[in-house]
Amino acid sequence: MNASNNSLAGLRVAVTGGTSGLGLALVAQLHRRGAKVAFVARDAARVAAVAAKFPGAHGIVADVASKEATHPLALQITSALGGLDVLVNNASTLGPAALVPLADTECEDFEAALAANLMGPFRLTKALLGALASSARQGRPALVVNITSDAGVNAYPTWGAYGASKAALAHMSRTWDEELKEHGVRVIGHDPGDMDTPMHAQALPDADPAELKAPSTSAAELLDRIATMLVREEAAA
């Protein structure tokens, strides 16, 4: 099913990692489809540039891996959007600057991957649960999308820190969905596939971009999935 673009109009969506790759593509397409968007990234100059390109989109400078940033970030998101319907936990890191076997991975690099890819989504989702539950009580959508990876399913040498964090994120998504769906809040994991992004180029600089998905393609697939879910849940209500 290819859901109508109008099905996302007025939707209040927050996207982390919104100035590059999939996150940037999501901001662009959500903006075009009429959604209200807040996006988060660490680089203030890039946040300002993206916000200028998409008038009405709210750029927020924050590091989702930082525990101290979580609650101020959640307040900024809900203030900018007047609530929240969809949270896309997209921001992530590979961990070590150069991918190495687990035995050669520094503990600090492993912890950094967990902080950005697992603890960041956990903390931000938890901080925004009140806003999402409020949306559900109002009959609005209430959805968390955690961006997963096949590296969390398949064991790829040198991808251990990233893969472990994504495996935990996928399982956390399934558990939270079971716990929250009775309250009208859904949580899903979504694997966008191998994309032509700066992070992929960092990991595999010799990869042929022609063999990779464009971030815009993956963004469209995710938004169509979200739109389809919303249509089905509305029909079931």
Q: What is the largest CA-CA distance in the chain?
A: 52
Q: What is the pLDDT of residue 33?
A: 96
Q: What is the pLDDT of residue 3?
A: 42
Residue 224, domain member (yes or no): no
Please tell me the pTM assigned to this model.
0.92
Residue 225, domain member (yes or no): no
Which residue range(s) make up the domain with 67? 13-107+115-216
Instruction: For 51-92, list the strands marked E by DSSP.
Output: 58-61, 86-89
Would you state the structure tokens that stand for residue 225, as one six-digit string?
């999935």
Q: How far is CA 157 from CA 6, 92, 125, 147, 148, in A?
A: 43, 19, 30, 21, 18
- Number of structural domains the chain divides into: 1
Residue 233, domain member (yes or no): no
Residue 230, domain member (yes or no): no
Q: Among 133, 151, 153, which residue's Cα sits nearest to residue 143? A: 133
Residue 221, domain member (yes or no): no
Phi, psi (degrees; rounded to nearest 5) at 61? -90, 115
DSSP 138: T
Could you tell me how many residues make up the chain?
Answer: 237
Alpha-carbon distance of 174 to 67, in angstroms, equals: 23
Residue 101, domain member (yes or no): yes
**Residue 185: Cβ within 10 Å count:** 22
Q: How far is CA 47 from CA 18, 200, 224, in A?
A: 8, 21, 25
With bands split at pLDDT 50, 70 and 90, how would you rate the model's confidence at 204? Answer: low
Residue 141, domain member (yes or no): yes
Residue pair 165/114 in contact by the 8 Å Cβ criterion: yes
Q: Among 230, 213, 220, 196, which residue's Cα sits nearest to residue 29? A: 220
Alpha-carbon distance of 58 to 90, in angstroms, equals: 16
Positions marked active-site = 162
Residue pair 186/142 in contact by the 8 Å Cβ criterion: yes
Asked if residue 8 has pLDDT above 60, the reply is yes
Residue 227, domain member (yes or no): no
CATH code of the domain containing 170: 3.40.50.720
Q: What is the pLDDT of residue 34?
A: 96
- Write the pLDDT tens digit of every residue in 23-61: 999 999 999 999 999 999 999 999 999 999 999 999 999
Alpha-carbon distance of 192 to 231, in angstroms, equals: 21
